[in-house]
Structure 1
């Protein structure tokens, strides 16, 4: 048994040795034909290949091509951040940025009620008739006073909203919204049987800024971070851009809210808001019960909900 084990070890070491006898240019060109999943597997084989397969030469073009597909990453190209990001300055910078973004994609985004606020939500309605070629759309805002208010697009009425402890959103007169990320754009998503909402994802700009600053601190450990060129440039650009969009969003929302506030409908909904908040937990239980019943009958509400997702 020990002889066989020594023989296998010798074969592995010999393979590694032969592989690295190739000139670096040849090895690099050979590995450039691999897909990202192949590079990830290659990183698990040995320490030298882990380092080699993590280089910017392979990951920069792949990451940029991937990010251009998703609207959640458009801020990188819109704000010309490629000129200031530090990923090129570290041999594995692009690989590390990609890993950081992938972690965000897989994490749930709705942690509390504030995640819904200060954000433009694009509402996509199911077709109102079979003769319509495009879905009806509107832009809505969720307010901390318990109202969701439309301010662009089709003329919808304001409603009350609440969130239960499972992160499910309830809007009066509508089925509950399940939350997740849109697979075709990486944006924040809420979907139900008849409509879905999309909003910008603030976690992507944040993670890009964080990894950029972390890499610069690694490059200049003895420097005062304030003196490092372009250290906080991405964060400043993103903050200024977000503040400008939020200001525009709030100004439009204020106009609609002032017209609505004090109306008879507003007074009626204010009384309903408390009832909706109290009943959301009961509704959640009823929804879960309906889901179990449908599954027993061969119907999956989650599957039917997913049919309404874009892409």
Structure 2
């Protein structure tokens, strides 16, 4: 089974500053090192899907600048179709500054730029691409109105839609009704439902709330603990693999991209795809950076024979 995955999302050039500990308000600290790399939730998820064997295409927007070409080249390096990446002549390519401490925890500041300037009307140009896909993924680093238009086209053509509501914000009316699977982390789930995520019972309650909101398949990722899943027929928890994390950047994106490469279009093999996704993200957190840390299918299979 080879999935055709389309990712609608963000393209950011990441600047990572390695520091000993996070600065306190008003404090000036020295960085140990500085690196620049391709990133953005959309790019990370697309690369993770491609490296896990999916035929992957991207819908997005970059600025008319060197960073934009850098991001397009980064996608092409993983054989991702970039024909639907537009160039914005008024806004710069998205960027992010990542503070990474010695425990592997990060704080991220994002400039949306061309990502946030995307317009819903442009999605009609990608209808044929979406119609030919098995899976369409989107996040919240591009406008929700654009995602809504794309997901409506996906449902018109019987394409499975996966929404990663990150960073969490109020969801526009109608979007969840054209979403087949929603994948927040525990903080995002609480923000969107107003309900705490502490244990299986509260995760079940969150699933009920999301069903009321219109989406009936849910995965809640809870970092080093693992991932909860809920479908109309089943629910459960898949533990994470225990590893020593160096950098958690792109771990959640790796999870979603790898999952999309392995899940069936009808989401019937949710648990098996979740195990694979956990394996992928367990490798990502042991490496530095966003795109450079995402493993290939070969690496995952060698690690978890």
TM-score (norm 2): 0.20
Greater share of strand residues, 1 or 2? 2
Larger radius of gyration: 1
Greater length-normalized contact order (CA 8 Å, ≥ 6 residues apart): 2
